[in-house]
Chains A and B, each alone.
Chain A
């Protein structure tokens, strides 16, 4: 016998009652469609080849990450953030650890902050490369994906050198990094920075003035700036419409206020402008990484030490009694941040990624909310699809840059 704790009110709105007329056709696209970037399902109402209604159906990858976060200790949740947006795992780590650090009132040392910025920008490039490859593949430019995935390997090699993992990196820790930076890593990153602008030129040679690409993207999926703000879009979807909102500039976290970079803005708000914005963002990321490498101190602590919220360094655990106690308590009991609630946002490759944490003073978050950017951005798909051609739907899904692990959480 199932004991349901509360009845579920069933609300069926009028929108659900689809009654296609004789001229209309309801077409199901996904969740196993190759161009839906995962398990997105879109229910399209067509009249001829024109889309008159579009209803994205999500949740096929829902794992209850927020519920899991409310049953793990603070430090145990970091690997779960990798699994939300799995093509940009270090950025997710960064958003979560910054939120917890804000809640605890601690801050990572300067050297760790620079390396966090380097890793976050490398992640942005890697994520944009996956986006560019798959987006172009959907539209029909097969060869671009070969180039982008070739260059993404270089970034994954850097990640592997840094933390041993390539995809779900579990890279950042609360308080900084507990592993030392490998000595030849800065040179690896510099080598990548020297190489990558040439690679961007290759992608642009393939796409930017390609007449087929222009025909498929220009004037498609236009979002006006007012509409983009009203939908709560962030990231390239918002900046492609010309609205200047980048969390790195608007509310600088880490040390972004010491870095000189520009935020590219689109003018028309169509698929092509969002493509240009993301291409330019990759160039700016290279600029940021180069400045970080110039400014980062070559030695110094990588982990905050002065508080109870941070795991003590391994050497001290082995040599001093106090740190062994701290380590024991940190591992067995976790740590208890003060009561309160924080919201911290970072500029993820897809938009504003925010973590909202409510603490009741216990070692487990009372409420952990992930404001994932692509969940909110995906809401604009019905708006863009209204009146579009059926063949443009793949371009519209691609331009939002969704990862279903992050949409469904």
Chain B
């Protein structure tokens, strides 16, 4: 076995020093009847070459596309070569959580920089070393809101938030009989203000609103903040496409009290949905209620600046059942990818990239609307995703696209019965004009449904 280093002679020497004849003799602490008396019913070990081929066989069994017009929470962006090169340094990817600051300053300083950038993007003051993904970030945000807002036990969730985020939130709130999640309806693709106002009350701790929402629409956080704050609730923005922060005002500056969501767009591929990068940013006043690892700046004995894990009194290894969360492992290496991506991009790169995404989505939309079977649904501002109603045969559209190695947008009917027949389209900087044109050509050939 190529990963097990000791030679037979060395093994013998180890066992002799321990004072046992066989390695099996060390299992004495496991009662005989509880031991496995047979080999595991699994194939034998494989050479590197054999394993590589088997794994490539599975990778090749997936269908490849010329272009994916699918976003819906997992966005395909260009990944600069510097990111993989840096992240494959063993000092980054094989290190553990930085428990010993004197030999973990690399990871600690990186997290401090990453925290700074997430605060910059969201316009808020405190964040952590990352959370698992957008869905679990919503859970942590909502649980934090009810902790901060003592005596308020209800979280309002806009129906415009990613349906999977909402499902994760409901799953995690289900065990708490004292907490409630209530959905706020959509109107014209954005949160229905009348429904929101009807549901706001003294029991509401927070309101979660998509920014942009799952349908691609830019919710007017500032307008929503008015009634939400008047009712004493916190406004939590949920962003599933963090590149939008290069196009839209920081949620903290637009009225949000907390911002959470998914930042996989910074330096990652869709990767079948993970590992992704959950984030949560909050105001300074709430810093001692934030979940997860937090890095702070301090000095060593000689007065030199350095970084440590801090505010640990919130965490599970100290506070046990009174901790703000059970999270310990997070998405460290994905946060490193985001940090490098953002430092390469800089303010101009990020704004430029976001503007290109907006331009590509607008072009895609205008071209799709030339097709007789594509209809606008609502005229709302959007970033790189939007919905259109398709009056043709959805199955035929799917089939025609796949035949040309194009992955079309998401058929919304499965998630939103009220948007049956609508498609959620996405375009990013990766979509060239010829790709968009070939999509339009393919769709133009799909026969209309005969009434």
Report whether chain A binds chain B: no
